[in-house]
Amino acid sequence: MIDSTNEEARRRALGGESDRLWIVAGEQTAGRGRRGRAWISPGGNLHATALMIDPCPPALAPQLGFVAGVALARAASDAGAADAGLKWPNDLILNGAKCAGILVEGIGLAGRRAGYAVGVGVNCAHAPEGLGYATSCLVGASGHSVGAGELFERLAERFDEALEAWRGGQAFDRIRAAWLDRVHGLGRRVAIESGAGRREGVFEGIDAAGRLLMRSERGLESIEAADLSLAPRSDAQPPAALSASHAREGRA
């Protein structure tokens, strides 16, 4: 048990730990997600963080979330969850509900160096309830939940592959294409919420820098950061709200 795998990565980085270290915990007592929201972290789920030192120019560090997303979607597929999809900016969706989240945090180091904690939290055995949006567990083709240990082994391999393809940000086009191959909600009506308020439009993908592309009454907008929710499909029962705004959940 640990407070947070991302926090442990921070401690290790500040203590002089070298590059490319995975930290995995059975449970977290103070897991966190985007914007400081808490991430519920019971035993049986996967709680893991990859620590990286100077993996790319600082301006390109947000791309690490997409690298991790591609790796996680591929790992889920390897484990039998072929229908798992990615939702901007940092969620893995299965059966219309969130089953995982990703959080990338920077760590300032001496000598102008920078560390990054790439946290991944996956509902393998337990899907928290009462969060204001639908949640699910990662389930393979057999109908059984995917074990945290099995998923981590596949994730570590897939993360290495995605990093190699990304080439420290020189080949984000490869990661962008792979991410779009797994995207959830493309062409659907969405709402975004940010400091500028709430707006609606149609999700049209991501641009060359990973920004959300949304077509609204203003035209095609490029969104740097926001919370995103998908409108229910008109031909289906409205699901519980799916949102990248994590009321108590978000990852890490």
- For the chain (length 252 residues), average pLDDT per consecutive 10? 92 90 89 62 89 96 97 96 93 92 95 95 87 84 85 97 97 98 94 88 96 94 89 51 34 48
At 242 the pLDDT is 34
Instruction: Locate 236 and state its tokens.
Output: 């289906």
At 240 the pLDDT is 35
Query: In this structure, what are the phi and psi dihedrals at residue 172, rounded to the nearest 5 degrees?
Result: -65, -25
d(CA 138, CA 127): 9
At 19 the pLDDT is 81
At 239 the pLDDT is 37
d(CA 152, CA 155): 5
**Residues 6 or more apart in contact with residue 160 via CB below 8 angstroms:** none
**Dihedral sign for Cα atoms in the order 242, 244, 247, 251:** positive
Q: Are 84 and 97 in contact (CB under 8 A)?
A: no
At 196 the pLDDT is 80
Left, alpha or beta for 96 (phi > 0: left; psi -120 to 50: alpha)? left
**Dihedral sign for Cα atoms in the order 81, 87, 93, 98:** positive
SS (H, E, C) the chain: CECCHHHHHHHHHHCCCCCCEEEEECCECCCECHHHCECCCCCCCEEEEEEEECCCCHHHCCHHHHHHHHHHHHHHHHCCCCCCEEECCCEEEECCEEEEEEEEEEEECHHHCEEEEEEEEECCCCCCCCCCCCECCCECCCCCECCHHHHHHHHHHHHHHHHHHHHHHCCHHHHHHHHHHCECCCCCEEEEEECCEEEEEEEEEECCCCCEEEEECCEEEEECCCEEEECCCCCCCCCCCCECCCCCCCCC
